[in-house]
Chain A
């Protein structure tokens, strides 16, 4: 935090406000520094959604892998030996022309950390958690995703034990691309299911 701090410059006002809250709450025994640090560490050491994008790209190119992924995602993803995998079960759900899957955690912010990294702010937000269940199509439209009325929208509610990874539909115009190129089309949001994969025509120079 002190990286930009020069001798004689006061810290930014927001930093002073946060330090004031933290030091007073710690002194009153209302929070513990170690517990705060542990929570922040967990959030900051993000894996990033690139892991998940690799999984999806392989599923797009390797039908056998996709089959294994859909049958037992925890075991199939173990083939990548990503670190930080926790004990929870991972379930992969595939988007098709008939079904669009979207993931939420209505209770808190359960999220498939090993493949997607940190949950985005909006995923943790109460309005998303509440509204995506009540009116998934309206929420998808806010993310720029308009689905045909004939497409069924399935909302999956994560728990501490079961986390979901959406396999978005492989975009048109991507038939000649290799796994690395395809992975670049797989955004974090598409693996939560609020958007579709990125179209190769919109990826400049990829």
Chain B
């Protein structure tokens, strides 16, 4: 990172403007949660917008190359992938922690009755 402004320009040039219809901006709650986490981590100074645009831009470019479109779901899947990457780059979480926790949540969701909140148990952590 030699010049933050230069990096930002470079990142912006690679990212296309996402489009949506007049409908809701979030199709599903996970999209809002992923969005909110990135906003809060950025506000807390964990990463700069330039750093985010760099990683997010790579995800968007890769998804575009694969022909996954620029709809809301594709956009937030890129957002989520970028979030998983940037927490690793910034030494906030390791990929091993994320994968381990994902399995814990999967097991928790499998054993939870329909209609009950899904929660991790003490033994999960």
- A contacts, CB < 8 Å to B: 1-2, 5-12, 14-25, 28, 30-32, 35-36, 39-40, 43-44, 46, 49, 118-122, 125-128, 130-131, 139, 142, 187-189
Contacts and interface: CB of A to CB of B under 8 A. Distances in A.
A121 to B, nearest CB: 5
B24 A46 contact: yes
16 contacts: A2-B114, A11-B109, A15-B30, A18-B37, A20-B102, A22-B33, A23-B105, A23-B120, A28-B93, A31-B37, A36-B40, A43-B36, A121-B19, A121-B20, A122-B19, A126-B11
B51 interface: no
B85 to A, nearest CB: 11
Contacts of B39: 39
A188 B22 contact: yes
Given A18-B37, A121-B19, A127-B12, 18 more contacts: A8-B110, A10-B106, A11-B109, A14-B77, A16-B109, A18-B34, A24-B93, A25-B87, A28-B93, A30-B92, A36-B33, A39-B39, A44-B26, A122-B17, A122-B20, A126-B12, A139-B17, A189-B22
Given A36-B36, A44-B26, A125-B18, A31 B41 contact: yes
Task: Enumerate the 9 nearest inter-chain pairs by beta-carbon distance, A residue then B residue, closest first.
Answer: A20-B101, A18-B30, A11-B109, A7-B114, A39-B36, A40-B32, A36-B36, A20-B102, A130-B12
A120 B113 CA distance: 36
A142 B7 CA distance: 24
Contacts of B75: 121
A23 B17 CA distance: 31
Given A30-B92, A39-B36, A21 B84 contact: yes
Contacts of B17: 122, 125, 127-128, 131, 139, 142
Contacts of B41: 25, 30-31
B93 A120 contact: no
A189 B49 CA distance: 25
Contacts of A14: 30, 77, 80
Question: Which of B17, B34, B46, B72 has the largest count of A CB atoms less than 10 A from its CB?
Answer: B17
The secondary-structure label for the interface of chain B is helix
Interface string B12-29: 110111111010111011
B84 A120 contact: no
B48 interface: no
Contact of B36 (A7, A40, A126, A131): A40
A57 to B, nearest CB: 16
Contacts of A187: 22
B44 interface: yes
A5 B114 contact: yes
Contacts of A121: 18-20, 25, 72, 75
Contacts of B101: 20, 23-24
B44 A31 contact: yes
A122 B109 CA distance: 34
Contacts of A18: 30, 33-34, 37, 80
